[in-house]
Amino acid sequence: MRWTIAHQLTLLVLAVLLPFAALVAFSAQEDYRTEQARIQARALRLAREVSAEVDQFIADTGALAEALAHVPSIKRAEEPQSSQLLGELADRYSYYESIFLTDTEGNVLAQGGDDVTPPGNLRGYVRQTLQQGGTIITNPIAPRNTGRHVFVMTAPVWDETGKPFGVVAISVNLLRLQEGMSRADLPDNSSVLIVDKIGRIVARRTDPEHWIGRSALDSSAVRNALRLGVGVSEGDFVDGVRRLSGFATAQRVPWEVIVGIPTDEAYGALRRELWRSMARLALTGATAGIAAWVLGRRLAQPIRRLAAGARAYAEGNLTHRIAADGPEELAALAHTLNHMAAALQQQMEALREARQREREAGERAVAELRRLHSEFIAVAAHELRTPVAAAKSYAELLRRDDLYLSPQLRRQALERLDAVCERLARLVRSLLGASRIQAGRLEVQLEPVDVAALVRRVLDEFGACDQSHDLLLTLDGRTCPATTSTEPELPGYEALGDAERIEDVLVNLLSNASKYSPAGTAIEVEVRRVPRTPALAGAAIEVRVADHGPGIPKEEQAAVFERFRRGRGVTAGGVGLGLYIAQAYVEAMHGVIGVESTPGHGATFWFCLPAAAATPAGAVPAVPPAETPVASATAPSPVVSV
C-alpha cells in the first residue's frame, strides 16, 4: 500500500493525540501500580503481624525458661517442689507440651505437663545450652512414631556456687502456632505458612497436621522468601495455587512467615478496570483516526502537484526547484522545500569535507599507533637484550669443562643467573599484566595484608639490588629499621588487598624512584594510617615513596600513569608500563594512587588502600628509633620492575 497525504495526516492526528493517550495510559498504569502496591503492602503487613505474633510467643517462652532457671527449688532440684511447680505451669499454659529439668548429662530430674519422652537428642541441646551459657531454641523436632512436631527452648541453670547444674527446657507443640495465625485478619482463601531455613514447614494455617514437617521447596513462593528474607512476590504456593505472597523473617527464630493471597482475588477487579480503561482509549483513538483519514483525503488533492518535486528530492536531485505558485499555503510549502534542498546541498558538502578530515585524522592516528608500536618493540627488545646476554654468558661460563670454577664462584654465578632469569620473568609478567589490564581480565585476591611488614621485606630485598641509594622507612612519623632481621611488632597496619599486587606496586614505585634519583641520595618510604580518606570513605593505610630526582612538571603529572608514557629526556631503561600497572592494581583493590611533585624538588608517589580493621583511636605502634637505614645484601634480589 502506498502512503498518501491522507495516511500521513491521519498519523499526524494520531500523533497529536498520542501524548494525551499516553497521559491517560500512564495515569491508569499509575493507579494500577498504586493499588497493586497497596495490596502488596497489605500482604507484607500481614506477614509482619504474624511474624510479630511468633516472636512474641518465643520471647514469652524464653522469659519463662530464664525465670524458672532462677527459682531456688529448681536450682537445687528439690522434689516434689520442682515437679509440682513445673506441672502447675504446664497446666496453666496449655500450649506447652511439657516443662522439664535435666542435669548436665541430660538426665531428667523433674517434669511437668504431658508424660512424654523429651524430644530429640536431649544430651545434644543440653550440652549446647551449657556451652553457650544462654537461652537457645532447637530446630523443629519430629520424634519417631509419635506424630508430634515440636521445638524445645532451653535455659541454663547454675547452682549456688555458680557452676552449671543443668537446664530448664520447655517443649512446644508446633500445632500451637496455629492460634496466632488463625487470629490474623486475612482475605478469603488466603493461606499462612511458616517454614525454617531449609524450607521445611513449621506451621500452616489450614490443615496443619497434614503439612507440618514436609518440605516446601517445590513452591516458588517459599524459595523467594528464603532467598529474599523480607518482601513480596508472586508465585505458586505449597498447595499449587498462585498467590501474591508477603513474607517476613522472625527475629527470634530462624523461620520465614509467608502470607499468600490468591492473585485472582488480589488483582481481579483491578485488572478488569485497567482493561476497560484501555478499551475506551483504543475506541477514542480509532474514532480520531477515521476522522483524520476522511479529512486528509479531501485536503490531499491540491497538494499532489508538489509530489513530483518531492520525489525528485527523494531521488537525490537536490538541484531541482519547485515553482512557488498556487494558494498561499502551497506556495509557502514549495518555498520551504526549495530552501530545504539548498540546505541539504550545503550539508552534504560539509559532510564530505568532514569525512575527508576524519579520514586524514584516522590516517594520522594509525601512523602514530605504528610509531608507538615500533618504539615499544625497540624498547622492549633493548630491555630484554641485556638480561638475555647476561644469562647466556653465565650459562656458557658454567658449561665450560676446561675452566675450573671454585664452589663459591660457581654458586655466585648460579645466583646471578637466577637473578637474571627472575628479572626476565618479572619483565614478561609486567607485559602480561598490562595485556590482562587492557583486556579487562585482571584478578586480585583481597585479604588482610600487613603493609608495614610487606614494605620492610621489599625494602630489604630492593636494597640488595640498589647499593647507590639509602632506603629510609618511616611509620607514622617514626623512623624504624628497613631490614627484616630486627622487625618489631607493628600492629594496626593491615590493609585489605592482594599481597602480591601490593608488592608489585611498591617495587615499581621504588624502581621509578631509584631510576630518577641521583646516586647517593635517599629514597624515603613512609607508611601511615589515615583515619578517614574522602576518596575511600573510611580508614586507610597510605604508602608514600619520595625521591630527590628532577621532579615532574605539572602539565605531565596527569599523564604519568598512561601506558608507554616516559618523561621528557629520560635515558633510564624501562618500557613505560610500571606506573600504568601500579594504577590498575591499586584501583582493582579499591584504592587510589597519585603523585605530588615540584620540578627540581623530587617527586612523591603515594597510594591508599582500605584498612582491614579500624585502628583504635590514639593507638600508636611502638617503633624503636633507628639509625638511618640502608638495606644491603650480597646476593642479588629478585625484585625488578618495568
User: Where are the chain's structural domains?
Assistant: 178-265, 442-610
Least confident of 138-152, 226-240, 446-460: 138-152
Q: Is the pLDDT of residue 397 over 50?
A: yes
The pLDDT of residue 365 is 82
For the chain, the average pLDDT equals 77
Please check the confidence at residue 507 and state whether its pLDDT lies above 80.
yes
Query: Per-residue pLDDT averaged across 592-612, rounded?
Result: 91
- pLDDT at position 608: 94
Q: What is the pLDDT of residues 438-474, one digit of tens each?
A: 667 778 889 999 999 999 988 887 876 677 788 899 9
Convert the pLDDT of each residue in 65-85 to its tens digit: 889 888 888 888 888 888 888
Percentage of the residues of the chain whose pLDDT score is greater than 70: 78
pLDDT of residue 629: 35
What mean pLDDT is predicted for residues 258-283? 76
Q: Please give the class, per CATH, of domain 178-265.
A: alpha beta
Say if residue 417's pLDDT is above 70: yes
Residues 511, 18: Cα–Cα separation, whole Å: 67
Amino acid 497: pLDDT: 93
The residue-averaged pLDDT of 288-301 equals: 68
Question: Which pLDDT belongs to residue 595?
Answer: 92
pLDDT at residue 167, as a whole number: 92
pLDDT of res. 575: 59
Cell (9 digits) for 249 = 523473617
Lowest mean pLDDT across 16-25, 145-154, 232-241, 563-572: 563-572
- Is the per-residue pLDDT at 604 higher than 90? yes
Q: How far apart are alpha carbons 270 and 293 in whole angstroms?
A: 35
Contact between 151 and 172 (Cβ < 8 Å): yes
pLDDT band (50, 70, 90) for residue 525: very high
CA-nearest of 555, 549, 561 to 592 is 561
Q: How far apart are the first and last CA of the chain?
A: 69
**186 vs 105, which has greater pLDDT?**
105
Q: Residue 636: what pLDDT?
A: 34
Mean pLDDT for 167-175 is 85
Q: Model confidence over 608-622: pLDDT tens digits?
A: 999 987 544 444 343
**Left (φ > 0), alpha (ψ -120 to 50) or beta: where does 242 sit?**
beta
Q: Rounded to two decimals, what is the model's pTM?
A: 0.41
| Fold: same for 178-265 and 442-610 | no
Asked whether the beta carbons of 257 and 238 are under 8 A apart, the reply is: no
Residues 198-207: what's their mean pLDDT? 79
pLDDT-derived band at 533 (thresholds 50, 70, 90) equals confident
**442-610 is classed CATH 3.30.870.10:** no
**Alpha carbon distance 337, 311 (integer Å):** 11
Q: What is the reported pLDDT for 628?
A: 31
Question: Would you say 489 and 622 are in contact if contact means Cβ atoms under 8 Å apart?
Answer: yes
Instruction: Write b or e for each residue in 265-298: b if 16 or more Cβ atoms lie within 10 A of its Cβ, otherwise e.
Output: ebbeebeeebeebeeebeeebeebeeebbeebee
Mean of pLDDT values over 147-153: 79
Taking the C-alpha atoms of residue 538 and residue 544, their distance in angstroms, rounded to an integer, is: 19
Cell triple for residue 495?
A: 590493609
Residue 436 has pLDDT above 70, yes or no: no
What's residue 176's pLDDT? 65
Q: What secondary structure, in 3-state letters, does 358-406 show?
A: HHHHHHHHHHHHHHHHHHHHHHHHHHHHHHHHHHHHHHHHHHCCCCCCC
- 464-468, 515-519, 552-556, 557-561, range with the lowest pLDDT: 464-468
What is the C-alpha separation between 305 and 331, in angstroms, rounded? Answer: 11
